[in-house]
Amino acid sequence: MSLHIYDTSTRAIREFVPVEAGRASIYLCGATVQAPPHIGHIRSGVNFDVLRRWMTRSGYDVTFCRNVTDIDDKIIRVSAEEGVPWFVVAERNQRAFTWAYDTLGCLPPTVEPRATGHVPEMITLMERLIERGHAYASGGDVYFDVQSYADRYGSLSNQKLENMRAAADTDDESCKRDPRDFALWKGEKPGEPTWPTPWGPGRPGWHLECSAMATKYLGPTFDIHGGGIDLIFPHHENEIAQSQAAGDGFARNWMHNGMLKIGAEKMSKSLGNSLLIPEMVQKVRPVELRYYLAGPHYRSSIEYSEEALLEAAAAYQRIEGFVTRAAEVIHDVDADAPLPQAFADALDDDLGTPQALAVVHEVVREGNVALSRGDKEAVARLLAETQNMLDVLGLDPRSPQWRGAGSDLTPVVDALVAVALEQRKAARERKDYAAADAIRNQLAAAGITVEDTPHGARWELSR
């Protein structure tokens, strides 16, 4: 089976056929950096990280472009409220997003363009639209003329133009030919940043930014455009309109992840229910939070509860427990071992992570049975399968990401704990169980859990 994905534009699951054989190009609408990220924001990053990893594992050379919207109305509003320059707000929150992506194990994008670094490409795109009769300048602003594209506008969101409301993206609608025309460029206003254009100084509109960046790095026609389902209209609808009206093929496939909700309401800071990433990784470990976000199907909505989060953490710990115990028996894991066919089929079927994780848990159950029987050959095979599946999902507990490569204190702690465990072993051998228990309790107080196994005592950091 080859990769099939649900395409929002055709509302059907289609076989993925790349623009260029052996290569895959993905554009993901990244952060609008007016505030730090909550788990609803980072879900998109995790979902598309799994897609990227699976496509790479499937043999594609993937170019992954995830943008940063570092200038827009919201950033300017926060800037005014805090009395700091707009770029201070943008830089502070971009760093928070980068930290969150890294903390949850998302691979760095191939390129991560900022909107403010691509104004020349935006000007070129507007010039092309004006020349083709699809855009017009008015009072320092530039607008897309939706009537000039009326036969196709609304195709992504499955709406008709006559049923659409005004764009509501300017203070003065009188400068528009049609209230539904959307702003490509916003003319200069007091206190706002500006860039020069042939139509006067101003700043870019949100939709224009993504079209300019996507086509610069991925070409006029590329494979996949992704983002949250809340971006279908107006953002992605407007991206399609302005890009195709300018003569670009733009995205062949549109993928949208579902929302994360609390009490049936979409996650948002304005609702006062945001769950910021630094707070979440105090509740569970980052890898457990990634498991929680990657587990449901990417197109489904997630109803957040702390109970569900802790259940996900416990499920991951069962997988981790097998990998840890098996790795004490099998020291060399076959990184080239084939993936179970059911796992590959699940991911090829519109990135079916729930079914893929079901396969992981089934292999883990078999692995635990093999461990109990002492069947090292079966353990070696099942450990390799488990780690290779987890690697695709970004969840391998033995990967450098989750073992703290670079700042890993494991060797230091190992040496210190080894001394204590030798002392405990000696105490047990002389039947001084009070001393052995005291050593175990001292380690527990230091945040280290000791487990006695058939292969000797092992330790891990307490959860």
Distance CA 177, CA 270 (A): 33
Asked if residue 376 belongs to a known ligand binding site, the reply is no
CA angle 17-18-22, nearest 5°?
A: 115
186 annotated binding-site participant = no
Q: Two tokens at 128?
A: 């092309």
- Tell me the two tokens of residue 408: 């890993």
Q: Is 29 annotated as a binding residue?
A: yes
What residues contact 327, with CB distance under 8 A and at least 6 apart?
A: 333, 383, 398
Contacts for 189 with CB less than 8 Å, ≥ 6 apart: none
* DSSP letters spanning 249-279: -EEEEEEEEPPEEETTEE--GGGT---BHHH
* Max CA separation in the chain (angstroms): 92
Token pair 């290569």 in the structure block, residue: 23
Paired tokens of 358: 């079901």
Contact status, residue 134 vs residue 145, Cβ threshold 8 Å: yes
269 is in an annotated binding site: yes
Closest CA to 287 of 262, 265, 319, 329: 319
Annotated binding residue 261: no
Residues 6 or more apart whose CB falls under 8 angstroms from that of 287 comprise 105, 316, 395, 397, 401, 402
> Computed over its alpha carbons, how large is the radius of gyration of the chain?
26
CA quadruple 418, 424, 428, 430: dihedral sign: positive
Q: Residue positions in the annotated binding site for ATP?
A: 269
Residue ranges for the known binding site for Zn(2+) are: 29, 210, 235, 239
For the annotated binding site, the residues are: 29, 210, 235, 239, 269
